[in-house]
């Protein structure tokens, strides 16, 4: 299978590319390297450095000629979306539109696009199913939800099947621990450096933490599914990719203490704008339709992440 991965030099994308190549697939990468790293690019992958919102995208996709497109390129920072919502929408909505059009024009049979738990906003109850009400709390969540509609508008009725994969809170090797990286990477790096991690808010806010290897497994399962993934209904093409488990930040910090061997303090600061109190996604639909389930226990994933970060810092 010829698989094109946008954002293939980033955290999730590079993990996916290396797994696909080890499985015997031909893989292409499109990445502008704004947040991804050239060091993540597998030497056996076809690679083009370009912006998905730029005019060169369609020709590059046509040149590679993918059977399937996995769209992971995105603006993923909530604080950045608050500072510059126009840029956030340009990348996440118009960039997705451009990728969908290019995939259709190149004759790809399927496009998978990364969406987010952020589309749901503050939940009334958890775990959330795909049809749960959606009230995004920030421009990032709004743009990811709009991107789902854009994919449907561009691809429904065409020869290109599609799905939006709503990732829970992903963590693991190759995640950036600097700046606005994921909380697992940030806490782990701080503890490795014997610096006190900072929990914003009470620490009782929960997240559904999923190891990047399980995300890769879900994408690979979706690539292989026979029949259409874009089922009828507004949320028909959407799939929660998650564990379904709530872990609060105090629990996460305690688990990391044991993993890293950190015995210093844990500090608290005021809650940040746009933070969600509880989050967990029900993965039943993905379990049943994709034949996939998350398998990495939190302790195992934290251990692998800590080992990788200890080498990289």
pLDDT at residue 301 above 90? yes
Domain housing 126: 2-171+209-242
* 219, part of any domain: yes
139-155 vs 95-105: helix crossing angle, rounded to 10:
20
Sign of the alpha-carbon torsion through 16, 226, 286, 31 = positive
d(CA 287, CA 293): 5
* 128, part of any domain: yes
d(CA 194, CA 132): 41
* 65, part of any domain: yes
With beta carbons less than 8 A apart as the criterion, state whether 188 and 261 touch.
no
d(CA 35, CA 8): 11
Q: Encoding tokens for residue 44?
A: 């056996």
Please give the share of the chain, as a percent, with pLDDT higher than 90: 94
* 84, part of any domain: yes
Q: Please give the tally of structural domains in the chain.
A: 1
**Residue 75 belongs to a domain with what CATH number?**
3.40.50.720
Residue 2 phi, psi (nearest 5)? -100, 115
pLDDT, position 276: 86
pLDDT, position 274: 66
11-22 vs 212-224: helix crossing angle, rounded to 10:
60
Comparing C-alpha atoms, which of 25, 27, 22, 23 is closest to residue 7?
Answer: 27
Q: Is 221 exposed, middle or buried (0-12, 13-18, 19+ CB in 10 A)?
A: middle
pLDDT, position 179: 64
* 183, part of any domain: no
pLDDT at residue 303 above 90? yes
Q: Is 178 exposed, middle or buried (0-12, 13-18, 19+ CB in 10 A)?
A: exposed
Farthest-apart Cα atoms in the chain, separation: 57
Outline where 124-238 has alpha helix (H): 139-155, 183-192, 212-224
Comparing C-alpha atoms, which of 139, 197, 184, 196 is closest to residue 300?
Answer: 184
d(CA 70, CA 196): 37
pTM of the model: 0.97
With beta carbons less than 8 A apart as the criterion, state whether 72 and 114 touch.
yes
Tell me, yes or no, if 262 is annotated catalytic: no
d(CA 308, CA 313): 9
pLDDT tens, residue by residue, 57-96: 999 999 999 999 999 999 999 889 999 999 999 999 999 9
* 184, part of any domain: no
pLDDT tens, residue by residue, 246-268: 999 999 999 999 999 999 999 99
* 79, part of any domain: yes
Outline where the chain has alpha helix (H): 11-22, 57-64, 78-83, 85-89, 95-105, 139-155, 183-192, 212-224, 249-260, 284-290, 298-312
Q: Encoding tokens for residue 308?
A: 């990788």
Q: What is the mean pLDDT of residues 127-150?
A: 97
With beta carbons less than 8 A apart as the criterion, state whether 212 and 174 touch.
yes
- pLDDT category at 180 given cuts 50, 70, 90 is low
Q: Which of 140, 171, 211, 262 is catalytic?
A: 140
* 294, part of any domain: no
Residue with tokens 């991690």: 197
CA 210 to each of CA 108, 162, 170, 175, 304: distance values in angstroms, whole numbers, following the listed order: 29, 23, 5, 13, 13
């Amino acid at each position: 299978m010829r698989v094109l991965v946008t954002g293939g030099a980033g955290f999730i994308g590079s993990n996916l590319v290396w797994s696909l190549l080890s499985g015997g697939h031909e893989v292409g990468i499109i990445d502008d390297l704004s947040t991804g790293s050239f060091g993540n690019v597998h030497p056996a992958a076809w690679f083009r450095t370009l912006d998905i919102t730029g005019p060169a995208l369609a020709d590059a996709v046509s040149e590679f000629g993918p059977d399937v497109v996995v769209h992971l390129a995105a603006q993923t920072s909530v604080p950045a979306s608050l500072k510059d919502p126009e840029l956030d929408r340009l990348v996440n909505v118009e960039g997705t539109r451009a990728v969908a059009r290019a995939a259709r024009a190149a004759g790809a049979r399927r496009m998978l696009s990364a969406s987010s738990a952020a589309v749901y906003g503050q939940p009334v109850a958890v775990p959330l199913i795909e049809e749960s009400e959606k009230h995004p709390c920030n421009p990032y969540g709004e743009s990811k939800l709009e991107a789902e509609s854009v994919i449907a508008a561009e691809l429904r009725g065409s020869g290109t099947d599609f799905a939006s994969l709503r990732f829970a809170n992903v963590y693991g090797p190759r995640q950036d621990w600097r700046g606005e990286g994921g909380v697992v990477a940030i806490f782990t790096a701080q503890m490795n450096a014997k610096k006190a991690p900072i929990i914003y808010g009470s620490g009782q806010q929960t997240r559904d933490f999923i190891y990047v290897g399980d995300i890769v497994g879900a994408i690979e399962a979706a690539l292989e599914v026979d029949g259409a993934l874009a089922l009828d209904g507004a949320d028909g093409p959407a799939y929660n990719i998650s564990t379904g488990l709530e872990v609060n930040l105090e629990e996460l910090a305690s688990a990391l203490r044991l993993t890293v061997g950190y015995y210093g303090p844990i500090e608290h600061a005021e809650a940040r704008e746009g933070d969600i109190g509880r989050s967990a996604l029900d993965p039943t639909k993905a379990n049943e339709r994709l034949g996939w389930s998350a398998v990495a226990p939190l302790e195992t994933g934290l251990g692998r992440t800590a080992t990788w970060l200890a080498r990289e810092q």
